[in-house]
Structure 1
């Protein structure tokens, strides 16, 4: 007698825990029978499901199997073209959808030739008199159970036919590892249309008789609430999800010196029990019962795996593919090697042939639906040629090194694994959110999604130049010549991936095409909001604006221009935004759409500038001046004299009363270098500023609040910070401000931003250009130690009056005077 697909030993036990309520195994079997009755005796052979995860999805899936139909899960996030292709390819007689998918399905229906019967979950009339399902399994386990369409990394979806034998063999092998047991809860989080969560979290759980907790959505809040409300012991996720978890937890650890030390101690001692004890709060954050973190679908970052393993979690990276139902290799509890994907599952034989991983056994697919030739390309004499490259160590642990089809062959014959370069790029700079590498015009080309928050926080405005000089050039210097990035393209949307996070490299060319299209006018929205925003931005920057331009990436708006735009949006439409929120919009078009949907009014006669606010009385509190400031600065000057040939000149050019000190920015020492040559009265009446990130600790914030330091949050309260600067000079005092915003990366004079020039012009306050020379040589950007003996000079140039000059003219003149002095 065949073994039941769903364990029948626990009729009153919870089978499913959902946000709508709990469902016992008895209720589960009854609901499956009710769904099966909807199309019993109709002669259907294939049933497709196009919906989000839900109990109804599960009922429909098992009802299809009960009625001897092939179940065909369809990716509910796929494009209308892909869904239509799948429906026309496999031609199901019945299609289940949810009410949430009806609008999208209408688009699919316009594209399909085949028209199945459609049932909407929420509209199904359930027969409550139906009893529990008595179905066990088909008589012939070699019949096809499911067709899973792979989203693919290289082209159109292919339908993988998996038999009951394929699935049962894989489930039995995984259960044999001892992870899935009746008393250990499993979470269903990933979409069930993919084989990894379908077999690995749903089918194997019902097969062994455990309880499943279903996360209501893939939102992080729903994920963590599902952990908190249940006793989840096994969780399946993709590497990018684990990386996000890692970043969030690691950031909190890094904020505390004690926590950093404890983590170092755990790594040093390799004591996982100690890690679990010391970081108990991390475990409690996952509900306190999570033991097994299973990762699949793509390569897991070794740093991420090491982190969770050290904290006491069994993070288990397996290797498999849809064609193997799905696991080929998997770690065993107590025998985990981070970086390896475990050993071959029982019943499977794994070999390496010409560097490629091949596998043979009862879980290998029957073939691709309607694709005999393509099946023959990957299955030869019963061996599945995975297309993945790797090696086996002496203990049988399998290591993945890349994809055979993705290996780049350069014109000089050199072979490159793009994954290696991508992993190095991803961890090389905080400015990189994600990166992909491919061959374009016979050269290595990188497609990079920048981290716009990082760039904004670090005052980067010319992004292309920053990536050329500060990211790509230093990166290439560390690489072998043939592995260097020769070209790069910055994008403002996530890189194309499969649902399990594998890069779809074949789509990278589209980014280059889109980039070219941006250079020409596209269909402009004909709305008053769009035209108002466009006109305002064009008044701030010297270029024509297109609807798909990004504020930073395409337009290079500096912080001041973004502040002006935020102010304009609030005054014109009544919508409050901060810079962080503004940067989340991928284009001007999307900003206009947001305004159109959320505006409170539209005033067309608003003053588009915020500078007029500077003259108003501002309710701002300036930092206090401590009597310790002068002795501290004197001590620092003495320190400088010990280590450098240090001199200052031009102090006679410092005017009485208010002024702006505007120095070039060469090193971390610059502020103290300038302040150390001010006499005591001038010093006590001179203010400077620091970015919020530079004064994170309580001690630093305390010192800053008593040292004439204005703390600026460039992403949230820039306007308030500027009003503080205005208040300083309105009180007849002085302020030190670096027009470049950030330290030079090359020693050369950078672009000057005009914030201080606007303040100077509006308030009629002179500017004193200050020339710093030698500081870059003494301690350049990125240097951790000073270079002793260097000659450093601070020179105060004659003050420049703003009268008769626009802010742009004043800014240009100050930079010109500093450049002339540096070149003397």
Structure 2
């Protein structure tokens, strides 16, 4: 497939080179956060790098160089500084998901051999008060526990004044940069080891593939590699101005205050933006034009929808500068992408996995197929084994920390086995069709991907969330029928009884069944009263059934 040229970008081998590289942006704004009073706090690239060097100097003085540094807390400027300072000192960084239980967090810290922790005020309180938490040296960005982040920063500034060449000699380079934990939907999290070159090259590849704007809104959790690599490292490499958001509660507020031209997020947030715009279009009497034109194009499989001047003017009132949304972490319905295009917002879907640093493929600004997850990024090779996607490249993990058996199982042949099923079309676009472990195996030997079923059911207006699975109906375990459990959309189902909802769904599903061969047809439909439990990347936990 002929691709247009990659965007020019610098590639770095280590984090000290990375920091020295971004110093060229000088007083250009690097990171903005907002206080509870809605006041913007902005640090330039010069201030960012100076803060990183200062913190690294203080950490080195305390003898923490080479230690395993745990980062626990909400997205913040301090989180970013602590990450870079640790990376400069060749300290493997342990990314801690603070949305997990105390027991799980403690297990993560111990599994990764964490030796010191940087934490937000809420996380620091957890470290100090919970008896099950490992007792580590603690640096806190607020609150009453641990060493204050600000005092450590000031200590480092003083050290740098005394020693002009503090970073002329550094400890031997450690290839291990990050220990990140997977957010699996069916099994316990696994500690993934990522290399310095792998993470940095993947970050550069992400911006080589997609040209973002000047102002990017970063709300993805940084303890996920998607948030770290793609929404922090990549944009900083090309001098982007980031707005860091650390809470869903303030996300829409910060979005309005910062007015970004680019947003990097997950489908859940894309759907929120879409619903806000769709509701506004309904209020203006423009809903019919939006739905009919965008959906008609989708049915004809046209890759793009045209921009509506009326809808774009409406978008400019709500999200004035928004032009691009990059979505990953889960499947995004192509209809949403096409409808957002009517408002003048281009949505680019990508595909990644923690073990691959994470980016594997992404749609490009001028090569966008909404039903796919894009084209493969530079330096990454793909092949398929019985439909499973296998990956090889410098972005692939070093292995699972201290678990050689699990590492051999995942990549014993030199290729990482993603567990995802998919295919490449003639143009080189990658399509994900499901998870190998989720396949529903029928008595006749046929295999059905539940994700394929879910994708069709999720388009029904009454459906907010859906999970497809094989329901055992006979005496043997392999005597199964295809079933779906649906959480109805409260707005669409308002005033309807459960019987009416179920009856309507069954009629719509009968119509869908008409497009499937008999072995793929849905035979059982169930309702649930609450949303499904989800991972921190907003994927439904399948083990619930």
**Would the aligned equivalents of 2:57 and 2:166 in 1 still touch at CA under 8 Å?**
no
CA distance in 2 between counterparts of 1:504 and 1:236 reads: 23
Contact 2:290 2:342 in 1 (8 A): no
> Which of structures 1 and 2 has the bigger CA Rg?
1
1:229·1:287 contact (CA, 8 Å) conserved in 2? no
- 2:74 alignment counterpart: 52
Tell me the CA shift for residue 207 of structure 1: 2.1
Counterpart position of 1:116: 136
Q: CA deviation at 1:19?
A: 0.8
Q: 2:459 aligns with which of 411, 421, 427?
A: 427
Match of 2:333 in 1: 301
Query: Cα distance 1:400–1:135, how it changes in 2: closer, same or farther (>3 A)?
Result: farther
Does the alignment pair 1:493 with 2:530? yes
Equivalent residue number for residue 417 of structure 1: 449
CA shift for structure 1 position 417: 1.0
Over the residues paired in the alignment, what is the CA RMSD in angstroms?
3.0
- Aligned position for 1:235: 263
Matches within 5 A, 1:72-83: 72-83=94-105
Q: 1:437 to 1:104 in 2, by over 3 A?
A: farther
Q: In structure 2, what is the equivalent of residue 66 of structure 1? A: 88
Partner residue, 1:399:
431
Residue 225 of structure 2 is aligned to residue 195 of structure 1 = yes
Question: Which SS does the other structure have where 2:468 is aligned?
Answer: strand
Q: For 1:300, what is the secondary structure of its paired residue?
A: coil
Q: TM-score, normalised to structure 2's length?
A: 0.83
Q: Measure, in 1, the Cα distance between the counterparts of 2:168 and 2:389.
A: 35
Shift of 1:437: 2.0
What secondary structure sits across from 1:298 in the alignment? coil
Structure 2: unaligned runs, 5 residues or longer:
1-11, 36-40, 143-147, 473-479
Unaligned runs of 5+ in 1: 510-824
Correspondence for 1:12 among 7, 16, 27? 27
Match of 1:164 in 2: 196
Q: CA deviation at 1:33?
A: 3.1
Instruction: Summarize the alignment of residues 241-640 of structure 1 with structure 2, pairs less than 5 Å apart.
Output: 241-258=269-286, 260-261=288-289, 264=292, 275=307, 277-285=309-317, 287-430=319-462, 432-441=463-472, 442-458=480-496, 460=497, 463=498, 465-472=499-506, 475-476=509-510, 478-479=512-513, 481-487=518-524, 489-506=526-543, 508-509=544-545
Contact 1:391 1:399 in 2 (8 A): yes
Q: Distance in 2 between matches of 1:361 and 1:137?
A: 31
Offset at 1:53? 0.9
Cα 1:373–1:271 change in 2 (3 A) is: closer
Per-residue CA shift, 1:24-56, capped at 9, x if unaligned?
Answer: 122212322343344324245200011111111
- Structure with more contact order per residue of length (Cα contacts < 8 Å, sep ≥ 6): 2
Q: Offset of 1:157 from its aligned partner?
A: 0.9
Count of residue pairs brought into register by the alignment: 497
CA-to-aligned-CA distance 1:354-405 (integer Å, 9 cap, x gap): 1111121111111111121111122143212111111111111111111111
- Deviation of the 1:268 alpha carbon: 7.2
Q: In the alignment, does 2:184 pair up with 1:152?
A: yes
- d(CA) in 1 for partners of 2:518 and 2:184? 32
CA distance in 2 between counterparts of 1:434 and 1:397 reads 27
Selected match of 1:39 from 38, 59, 63: 59
For 1:92 and 1:490, the matched residues in 2 are separated by: 44
Report the TM-score, using the length of structure 1 for normalisation.
Answer: 0.56
Q: 1:783-794 maps to which residues of 2 (within 5 A)?
A: none
**Partners in 2 of 1:150 and 1:292 — Cα distance?**
27
Report the CA distance between 1:348 and its aligned residue. 1.4
Q: 1:69 to 1:282 in 2, by over 3 A?
A: farther
> How many angstroms apart in 1 are the aligned matches of 2:121 and 2:262?
30
- How many angstroms apart in 2 are the aligned matches of 1:27 and 1:425? 50
Contact 1:96 1:119 in 2 (8 A): yes
Q: What is the CA-CA distance between 1:487 and the residue it aligns to?
A: 4.8
Would you say the 8 A contact 1:28–1:59 is kept in 2?
A: yes
- CA distance, structure 2, for counterparts of residue 271 and residue 337 of structure 1: 6
2:6 is aligned to none
The 1-side partners of 2:167 and 2:28 are apart by 19
Give the drift of 1:424: 2.7
Please say if residues 243 and 301 of structure 1, whose CA atoms lie closer than 8 Å, have aligned partners that are also in contact.
no
CA displacement at 1:440 relative to structure 2: 3.9
How far does the alpha carbon of each residue in 1:674-714 deviate from its partner, in whole angstroms, 9 at most, with x for none?
Answer: xxxxxxxxxxxxxxxxxxxxxxxxxxxxxxxxxxxxxxxxx
